[in-house]
């Protein structure tokens, strides 16, 4: 009987994606956050406060970030954690659980980003099959009259800044790996349309959404734009640019266009950084308005894009110091470490969108009253990415 119990215990231990972690102040912030995520979520399938599995962009965001920690450290526990999610979510024939292509939701592309490295490392054909399904999805994603991807089939004619990150980096890496040089034009188009039609010429900031049909209640009847500058929306967009440039051919005529967009966006964001804390507000341009608050995910995303832009030479070297100051602000304003070394991030907006049911009108009051969450994946994942850039 004792032998049987020991065998069962050994089996359960082997099946667990991660065991209890020792987290030390001597480790880098990227490792400390990755280990904290894994400690709080031993089974990655139920990460992101989920009580059931889901094929969701938040998993791709965090697991892609942890993939970078794996590559930086060579520690296979990170790879095993990533693989545990995808091995569960993808059937042997390549079918993706909880994924319905007919919804044409651009968010459902983003979870596919870690599959490239996973296929390289494991050779599991089902991962390659899933990658091809997601590329097929992009081929038929509905578009507006200028060629911009709708955010979802149910959100007709709408482009959201969020969608830049959801689709473009996967699309760009697929093109690079498959030698599809011509499709980089389409990747650039998605980002350039947003900059052209969603940017406010006065502030240089970008509005959250654009309804080309101008039929949504939240849309300006003349421009089709939503009424406010939501921080994380611009954070998604900024991260999309620097991540897309990882795969974009330097000799491609659109490459320099994207770096110019990054420069102009960062110049605009710099003007709205809170001088005292070094971070940014939920509604970026209204820091002195009642109800607004310093928000973690946008601040982290902005700083990541700035630091990576400086590291890669897309931005002036002066932005290294700027990013250092912002990173210190993030540590001071949002980061807590408990007695066991677990790292937490406070003051992250849980979710915000436009339209839907109940209807989200994009007003100032809507954004500042959405739920605030501790250790939201939209903050923890980008914090890992930012920390790795700070270490370069």
Residue 13 has pLDDT above 50, yes or no: no
Q: Is residue 283 part of a domain?
A: yes
Q: How much is the pLDDT for 161?
A: 98
Alpha-carbon distance 267 to 305, whole Å? 12
Domain-located, residue 140 = yes
In this prediction, residue 20 carries a pLDDT of 63
CA nearest to 353, candidates 211, 217, 205, 233: 233
Average of pLDDT values for 225-245? 98
Q: Does residue 11 have a pLDDT over 70? A: no
Sequence length of the chain is 392
Q: Give, rounded to a whole angstrom, the gap between the first and last alpha carbons of the chain.
A: 53
pLDDT at 10 over 80: no
Average pLDDT over residues 347-371: 98
Burial class (CB in 10 A: 0-12, 13-18, 19+), 133: middle
- Determine, yes or no, domain membership for 14: no
Q: What average pLDDT does this structure show over 69-98?
A: 98
Residue in the structure block whose two tokens are 């997601």: 134
Which one of 162, 186, 285, 376 is the catalytic residue? 162
276, 277, 279, 280: CA torsion to nearest 10: -60
**pLDDT tens-digit profile of 315-347?**
999 999 999 999 999 999 999 999 999 999 999
- pLDDT at residue 22, as a whole number: 80
The CATH number assigned to the domain holding 113 equals 1.50.10.10
Phi, psi at 344, each rounded to 5°: -125, 155
The number of folded domains in the chain is: 1
Closest to 90 (Cα-Cα) out of 48, 68, 50, 59? 59
Report if residue 8 sits inside a domain. Answer: no
Whole-structure pTM value: 0.95
Q: How large is the average pLDDT for residues 276-298? A: 98
In a domain, 142, yes or no: yes
- Asked if pLDDT for residue 5 goes beyond 60, the answer is no
211 included as an active-site residue? no
Q: Is the pLDDT of residue 16 over 90?
A: no
Question: What does the radius of gyration of the chain's CA atoms come to, in whole angstroms?
Answer: 21
Residue 152 domain-assigned (yes or no):
yes
pLDDT cut 70: percent of the chain above it: 95
Q: Is pLDDT of 4 > 90? A: no
* Mean pLDDT within 261-268: 98
Specify if 11 maps to a domain.
no
The parent domain of residue 368 ranges over 25-391
Tell me the average pLDDT across 24-51.
96
- To the nearest 10 degrees (0 to 180), the angle between helices 76-89 and 57-73 is 150
pLDDT in tens, 100-121: 999 999 999 999 999 999 999 9
The average confidence (pLDDT) of the chain is 95
């Amino acid at each position: 009987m004792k032998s049987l119990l020991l065998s069962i215990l050994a089996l359960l231990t082997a099946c667990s994606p991660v065991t209890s972690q020792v987290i030390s102040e001597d480790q880098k912030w990227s490792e400390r956050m990755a280990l904290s995520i894994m400690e709080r979520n031993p089974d990655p399938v139920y990460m992101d406060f989920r009580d059931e599995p889901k094929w969701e962009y938040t998993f791709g965001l965090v697991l892609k970030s942890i993939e970078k920690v794996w590559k930086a450290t060579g520690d296979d526990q990170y790879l095993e954690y990533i693989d545990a999610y995808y091995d569960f979510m993808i059937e042997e024939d390549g079918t993706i659980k909880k994924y319905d292509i007919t919804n044409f939701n651009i968010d459902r592309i983003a979870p596919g980003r870690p599959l490239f490295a996973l296929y390289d490392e494991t050779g599991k054909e089902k991962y390659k099959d899933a990658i091809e399904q997601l590329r097929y999805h992009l081929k038929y994603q509905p578009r507006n009259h200028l060629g911009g991807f709708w955010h979802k089939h149910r959100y007709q004619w709408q482009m959201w800044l969020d969608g830049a990150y959801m689709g473009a980096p996967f699309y760009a890496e697929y093109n690079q790996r498959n030698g599809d040089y011509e499709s980089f034009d389409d990747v650039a188009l998605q980002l350039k349309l947003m900059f052209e039609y969603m940017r406010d010429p006065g502030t240089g900031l970008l509005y959250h959404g654009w309804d080309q049909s101008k039929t949504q209640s939240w849309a300006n009847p003349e421009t089709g734009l939503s009424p406010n500058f939501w921080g994380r929306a611009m954070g998604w967009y900024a991260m999309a640019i620097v991540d897309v440039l990882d795969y974009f051919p330097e000799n491609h005529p659109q490459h320099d266009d994207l770096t110019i967009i990054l420069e102009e966006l960062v110049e605009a964001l710099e003007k709205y950084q809170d001088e005292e804390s070094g971070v940014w507000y939920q509604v970026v341009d209204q820091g002195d308005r009642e109800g607004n608050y310093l928000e973690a995910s946008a601040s982290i995303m902005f700083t990541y894009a700035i630091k990576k832009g400086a590291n890669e030479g897309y931005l002036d070297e002066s932005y290294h110091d700027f990013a250092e100051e912002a990173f210190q602000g993030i540590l001071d304003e949002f980061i807590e470490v408990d007695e066991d070394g677990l790292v937490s991030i406070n003051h992250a907006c849980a979710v915000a969108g436009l339209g839907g049911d109940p209807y989200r009108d994009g007003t100032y009051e809507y954004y500042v009253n959405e739920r605030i969450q501790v250790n939201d994946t939209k903050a923890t994942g980008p914090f890992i990415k930012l920390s790795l850039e700070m270490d370069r």
